[in-house]
């Protein structure tokens, strides 16, 4: 008990919670933006995140890190773009359920392809020196990634919000998320807007993958599924379609999860770190289905 | 009158099918020297057993997703409940200490197997009867527990709209998976370890005094169970309630305006579907001869959903055909893709472990994107259809490809 | 009035956000009559229907059916502050009654839809048969194990009788949505009748019909009223139809009542003519 209440322990738990939350936030934005525009739970998003991790491993083995990272970002964005064009665009007029099934199919394909390429063995994410260096804060020593994550998340979100609120494509995104059909009639190029959404979502997922896999370096073909689902829950929690909502939801889930994992092992509750997220989901859906910020339609993207 | 004629013909066909299964299972011991495919260890029987179990689960998912229009992804969770209920109730007393050795024995101080053995004896015919009773009761409870949980979770989640319902049920399944792996419940669930030693399909093989198998029934049993359950679901779908479900699927507002209580009927469909998923879970446990929470992942649900889509959402026969095709491809016909193959000294490229599933997922994507109605669309295999097929001697026109309206 | 009132709306107001779609609407529908609710596009007619059938919970007001309160509501929560209608105090002390649409049907109110909502995967026969489900004496077990065979046979026989009565029997095995438009409307009415209502709500039954069909429809509505001992409450655009068959007419515009009376009175009402033809000064 004493060990639990020590300041260092609390600080280190909070720090890693915030860091995990930030990583989830970067994935959650991809979910929430796609849902805002297409009303689609993009089940493949978590797997895109996993693929980004694998690409990181393979490409950094061949190229120096400062070249590898941009290449990984470019490839993953390409993948996100391609998935949308190949698997979702043909189903634009189909019932929503078909698109969701297609997303599940893509997820299945990405996981199986990853199993084939990696042979199903967990792969180890390379240590990026700038992120893995140890620093000490308030007596708790921690990796630099823990500090960098929240800062990077805030910077990226400020950039994203600026993009959405002050650029033409951002305005188009807001319009499409408000009313798909009318926007189309008003001459907005729907497909460009949707592609842009996938590009942004995938781009943020890559950044998320670098930070996440630096912290949890083992990548299996299903490594994206759980963080993906959790991020989606975060997006629902914050009110799907709302970017600030998704970010707040992600931080909350990240912190709660680390706290649960940090409880004494004699309580045997660490198996519930994932279940907790879903319990939260069911509670929020039954009490306030629109999520925390769901009502403020102006936040929608 | 036409109807009774059809019912008679269907019953005859089912009986014929079951006979063929028994024949297939035993033919290798009656006629020696048959090809290896008829040997009891052949992939054929894996496919048949797994196919029977999965077709029940797929049909029960179709009842919900295809006939009632509720997009639920909780299938694996309800299967888990069924599998564990069955296993916990039927692990024989004698095996409990060994199964639960990490927890110093089980907290469940009885076993259906021992219960019935004390009634009917444990050897010969009495033993067989107690096995049947124990398994039957165990499976029934498996279904009931799954149905009970469905009723509990249904009240909050069935109010949710399509994709929220999907994610909530998916989450529910994940919560169950965590609960069943919780060490604190170990004396009941065996924690993260597997439950085993309970009666499986192989126990139904009839043995003589010396313990030799005289009649194999290990494929027959899952077939029989699946056929009975699917028949019940078909009866439901063709009843007044089934029509009400379809009305809800087609247009909720109109259904409600014609006096069909949405909540009551959605709940009914959800509970019944979960009951049969629970039964399916119990059969699955019997098939793999163990019950372990980590097997019932969301990937399992996705797999079943994809089977339903391949067969045709809203078609029972489609789900069954889809299941057997899917299982046969993944367990048997596409196995060669996983083996490194040499033609002479030339190594066929790409073929190695895992390639089968890649090819498989590509095929599934093609079906989802270009043949979204699946094999059967929302049509059923019917006598008239088969008759027409035989007369024309040429396959029926495939359901049109492309976008669904 | 000495007739029995089947349906009574009192001060019904429906407000969405800051928009009042139905404002303080009160009306009576006496037994056995055909009453019409008319008004220009967007006047709030269908919203009023949705308030009666339980699709929407009205913001304020009461709807009684056969003398009993069926729906009752008053502004609550945020709406208390933002309420723009009147009489918010009148029902404040009464409990909120907000039945689900299927409950309303069970009481004996059936409806049709403006934009036809037949079940698209079902045949004509099944569309009517499903509407029989609500009143069938059966449960899910008797349905699965077919011990409800008598009940099922009765439902089928009654369905067939209804189809014959509506002249739809030759289409019974066709997919409902493949029928010509006029027949689909007729099928919707048959389906509504299958729920055994005492009050039939028709939402623009003549929409999309030519004069000839409209003429037939008028006779048809009167026929079914007499045959099934119904009270009919309808929303309509077609003035010919309304003037021909209605016993009494209510006219609303922008959610509020602007006139009421027998067809002759309404026809000559200045505000009605203005509402329909538009007035230059506030255009």
Q: Are residues B403 and A90, on separate chains, in Cβ contact within 8 Å?
A: yes
Spatial distance between the Cα atoms of A284 and B344, rounded to a whole number of angstroms: 62
Say yes or no for a CB contact (<8 Å) between B258 and C117. no
Q: Do B368 and A113 touch (CB under 8 A)?
A: no
B97 in contact with chain A, both atoms CB, cutoff 8 A: no
Identify the domain boundary among C165, C195, C225. Answer: C195
* Same domain (yes/no): C26, C58: yes
Residues 186-205 of C with CB under 8 A from B: 191-192, 194-195
Inform me whether the C-beta atom of residue C207 falls under 8 Å from chain B C-beta atoms: no
**Pair C255, C220 in one domain:** yes
Per-residue pLDDT of chain B (405 residues; tens, 9 = 90+): 456 677 888 899 999 999 999 999 898 888 888 888 888 888 899 999 999 999 999 999 999 999 999 999 999 999 999 999 999 999 999 999 999 999 988 888 899 999 999 999 888 889 999 999 999 999 999 999 999 999 999 998 998 877 889 989 999 999 999 999 988 888 999 988 999 999 999 999 998 888 888 899 999 999 999 999 999 999 999 999 999 999 999 999 999 999 999 999 999 999 999 999 999 999 999 999 999 999 999 889 999 999 999 999 999 999 999 999 999 988 888 888 888 778 878 877 778 888 888 988 999 899 989 988 888 888 887 777 676 666 655 444 444 443 333
Tokens 């065979």 -> residue: C149
Q: Which residues of B touch A111 (CB under 8 A)?
A: 299
Residues C127 and C137 in one domain: yes
User: Residue B261 and residue C102: Cβ atoms within 8 Å?
Assistant: yes
pLDDT in tens, C213-258: 888 889 999 999 999 999 999 998 778 889 889 999 999 998 899 9
Candidate from C118, C120, C134 with C-beta closest to B260 = C134
Could you give the CA distance from residue A179 to residue A197 in angstroms, rounded to a whole number? 16
pTM score, whole prediction: 0.91
Full strand arrangement of the beta sheet holding C231-236: C109-111, C199-203, C231-236, C34-38, C248-253, C256-261
Structural domain including A34 reads 2-299
Cβ–Cβ contact B360 with A under 8 A: yes
So what's the pLDDT on residue C279? 56
Q: Give per-residue pLDDT as tens, A211-263.
A: 999 989 999 998 998 899 899 999 988 888 788 889 999 999 999 999 998 88
Q: Are residues C5 and C129 in the same domain?
A: no
Residue among C128, C90, C108 at smallest CA distance from C11: C90
Check B184 against A289: CB less than 8 A apart.
no
Chains that touch A (3 or more CB pairs under 8 A): B
Asked if B258 and C135 come within 8 Å (Cβ–Cβ), the reply is: no
Q: Which domain holds residue C213?
A: 1-108+197-283
Indicate contact of A with B: 3+ CB pairs under 8 A.
yes
The gap from C-alpha A35 to its chain's centroid, in whole angstroms, comes to 13
Q: Does C126 touch chain B (CB under 8 A)?
A: yes
Contacting residues of B for C144, CB less than 8 Å apart: 232, 235-236, 239, 241
Domain boundary among C141, C171, C195: C195
Shortest CA gap B302–chain A (Å): 7
Count of the separate structural domains present in chain A:
1
My answer on whether C203 and C270 are in the same domain is yes
Q: Do B261 and C136 touch (CB under 8 A)?
A: no
Rounded distance, CA B312 to CA B378, Å? 6
* Separation CA C21–CA B209 (nearest Å): 83
- The alpha helices in A133-189, defined as continuous H runs, are 144-166, 168-178, 180-185
Same domain, C152 and C249: no
The answer to whether the CB of A146 falls within 8 A of the CB of A270 is: no
The percent of residues above 90 in pLDDT, for chain A, comes to 50
Per the CB < 8 Å rule, is A105 touching B364? Answer: yes
Question: Could you report the per-residue pLDDT of A117-159, keeping only the tens digit for each?
Answer: 998 889 999 888 888 888 877 777 788 888 889 999 999 999 9
Instruction: Using CB atoms, pick whichever of B235, B253, B261 lies closest to residue C117.
Output: B253
CATH of the domain at A266: 1.10.3470
A-contacting residues of B 182-221, CB under 8 Å?
182-184, 192
- Residue C98 shares a structural domain with residue C125: no
Provide the number of structural domains found in chain C: 2
Chains touching chain B, criterion 3+ CB pairs below 8 Å: A, C
Chain C residues lying within 8 Å of B314, measured CB to CB:
121
Q: Which of C195, C217, C251 is at the close of a domain? A: C195
Is residue C43 located within the same domain as residue C70?
yes
Same domain, C73 and C127: no
Residue A165's alpha-carbon distances to A161, A171, A195, B84, in angstroms, are 6, 6, 18, 52
Chain A interface includes B159 (CB < 8 A): yes
């Amino acid at each position: 008990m004493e060990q639990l209440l020590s300041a260092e322990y609390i600080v280190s738990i909070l720090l890693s919670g915030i860091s995990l939350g930030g990583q989830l936030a970067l994935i959650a934005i991809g979910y929430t933006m796609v849902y805002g525009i297409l009303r689609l739970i993009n089940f493949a998003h978590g797997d895109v995140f996993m693929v980004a991790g694998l690409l990181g491993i393979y490409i950094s083995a061949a190229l120096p890190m400062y070249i590898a990272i941009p290449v990984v970002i470019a490839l993953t964005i390409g993948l996100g773009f391609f998935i949308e064009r190949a698997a979702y665009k043909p189903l634009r007029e189909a019932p929503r359920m078909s698109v969701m099934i297609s997303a599940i199919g893509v997820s299945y394909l990405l996981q199986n392809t990853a199993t084939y390429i990696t042979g199903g063995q967990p792969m180890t994410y390379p240590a990026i020196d700038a992120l893995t260096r140890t620093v000490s804060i308030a007596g708790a020593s921690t990796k630099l990634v823990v500090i960098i994550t929240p800062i990077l998340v805030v910077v990226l979100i400020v950039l994203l919000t600026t993009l959405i609120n002050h650029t033409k494509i951002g305005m188009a995104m807001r319009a499409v998320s408000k009313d798909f059909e009318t926007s189309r009639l008003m001459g907005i190029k729907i497909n460009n807007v949707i592609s842009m959404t996938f590009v942004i979502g995938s781009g943020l997922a890559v950044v998320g993958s670098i930070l996440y896999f630096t912290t949890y370096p083992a990548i299996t073909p299903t490594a994206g599924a759980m963080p993906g689902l959790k991020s989606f829950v975060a997006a629902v929690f914050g009110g799907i379609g709302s970017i600030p909502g998704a970010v707040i939801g992600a931080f909350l889930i990240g912190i709660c999860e680390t706290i649960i994992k940090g409880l004494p092992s004699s309580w045997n509750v660490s198996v519930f770190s994932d279940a907790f997220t879903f319990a939260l989901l069911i509670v929020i859906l039954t009490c306030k289905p629109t999520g925390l910020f769901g009502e403020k339609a102006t936040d929608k993207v | 009158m036409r109807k009774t004629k059809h019912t008679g013909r269907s019953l005859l066909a089912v009986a014929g099918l079951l006979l063929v299964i028994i024949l297939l299972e035993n033919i290798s011991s009656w006629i020696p020297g048959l090809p290896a495919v008829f040997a009891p260890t052949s992939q054929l029987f894996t496919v048949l057993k797994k196919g029977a179990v999965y077709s029940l689960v797929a049909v029960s998912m179709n009842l919900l997703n295809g006939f009632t229009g509720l997009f639920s992804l909780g299938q694996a969770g309800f299967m888990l409940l069924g599998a564990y209920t069955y296993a916990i109730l039927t692990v024989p007393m004698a095996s409990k200490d060994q199964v639960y050795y990490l927890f110093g024995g089980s907290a469940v101080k009885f076993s259906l197997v021992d219960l019935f053995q004390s009634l009917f004896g444990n050897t010969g015919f009495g033993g067989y009867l107690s096995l049947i009773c124990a398994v039957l009761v165990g499976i029934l409870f498996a279904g009931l527990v799954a149905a009970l949980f469905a009723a509990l979770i249904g009240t909050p989640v069935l109010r949710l709209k399509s994709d929220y319902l999907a994610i909530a049920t998916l989450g529910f399944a994940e919560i169950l998976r965590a609960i069943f792996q919780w060490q604190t419940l170990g004396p009941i669930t065996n924690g993260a370890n597997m439950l085993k030693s309970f009666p499986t399909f192989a126990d139904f093989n009839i043995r003589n005094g010396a313990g030799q198998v005289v009649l194999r029934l290990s494929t027959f049993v899952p077939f029989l169970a699946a056929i009975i359950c699917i028949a019940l679901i078909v009866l439901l779908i063709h009843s007044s309630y089934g029509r009400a479900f379809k009305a809800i699927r087609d247009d909720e507002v109109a259904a409600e305006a014609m006096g069909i209580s949405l909540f009551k009927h959605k709940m009914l469909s959800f509970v019944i579907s979960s009951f049969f998923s629970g039964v399916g879970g119990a059969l699955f446990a019997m098939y793999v001869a163990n019950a372990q929470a980590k097997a019932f992942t969301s990937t399992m649900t996705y797999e079943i959903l994809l089977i339903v889509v391949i067969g045709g959402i809203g078609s029972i026969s489609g789900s069954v055909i889809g299941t057997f095709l899917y299982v046969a491809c993944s367990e048997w016909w596409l196995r060669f893709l996983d083996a490194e193959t040499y033609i002479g000294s030339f190594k066929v490229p790409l073929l190695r472990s895992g390639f089968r599933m890649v090819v498989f997922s590509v095929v599934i994507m093609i079906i989802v994107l270009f043949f979204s109605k699946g094999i059967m669309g929302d049509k059923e295999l019917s006598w008239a259809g088969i008759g027409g097929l035989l007369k024309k001697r040429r396959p029926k026109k495939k359901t049109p490809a492309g976008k669904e309206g | 009035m000495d007739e029995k009132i089947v349906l009574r709306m009192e001060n019904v107001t429906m407000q969405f956000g800051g928009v009042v779609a139905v404002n303080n609407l009160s009306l009576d529908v006496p037994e056995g009559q055909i009453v019409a609710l008319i008004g220009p596009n967007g006047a709030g007619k269908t919203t009023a229907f949705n308030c009666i059938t339980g699709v929407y919970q009205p913001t304020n007001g009461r709807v009684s059916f056969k003398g009993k309160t069926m729906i009752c509501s008053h502004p609550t929560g945020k709406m208390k502050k933002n309420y723009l209608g009147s009489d918010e105090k009148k029902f404040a002390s009464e409990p909120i009654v907000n039945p689900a649409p299927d409950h309303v049907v069970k009481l004996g109110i059936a409806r049709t839809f403006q934009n036809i909502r037949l079940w698209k995967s079902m045949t004509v026969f099944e569309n009517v048969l499903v509407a029989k489900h609500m009143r069938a004496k059966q449960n899910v077990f008797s349905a699965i194990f077919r011990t409800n065979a008598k009940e099922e046979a009765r439902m089928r026989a009654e369905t067939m009788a209804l189809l014959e009565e509506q002249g739809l029997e030759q289409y019974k095995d066709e997919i409902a949505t493949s029928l010509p438009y006029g027949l689909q409307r007729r099928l919707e009415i048959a389906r509504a009748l299958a729920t055994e209502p005492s009050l039939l709500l028709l939402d623009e039954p003549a929409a999309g019909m030519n004069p000839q069909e409209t003429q037939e429809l008028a006779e048809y509505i009167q026929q079914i009223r007499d045959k099934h001992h119904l009270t009919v409450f309808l929303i309509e655009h077609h003035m010919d139809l309304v003037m021909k068959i209605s016993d009494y007419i209510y006219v609303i515009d922008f959610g509020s009542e602007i006139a009421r009376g027998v067809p002759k009175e309404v026809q000559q009402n200045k505000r009605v003519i203005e509402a329909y033809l538009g007035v230059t000064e506030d255009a």
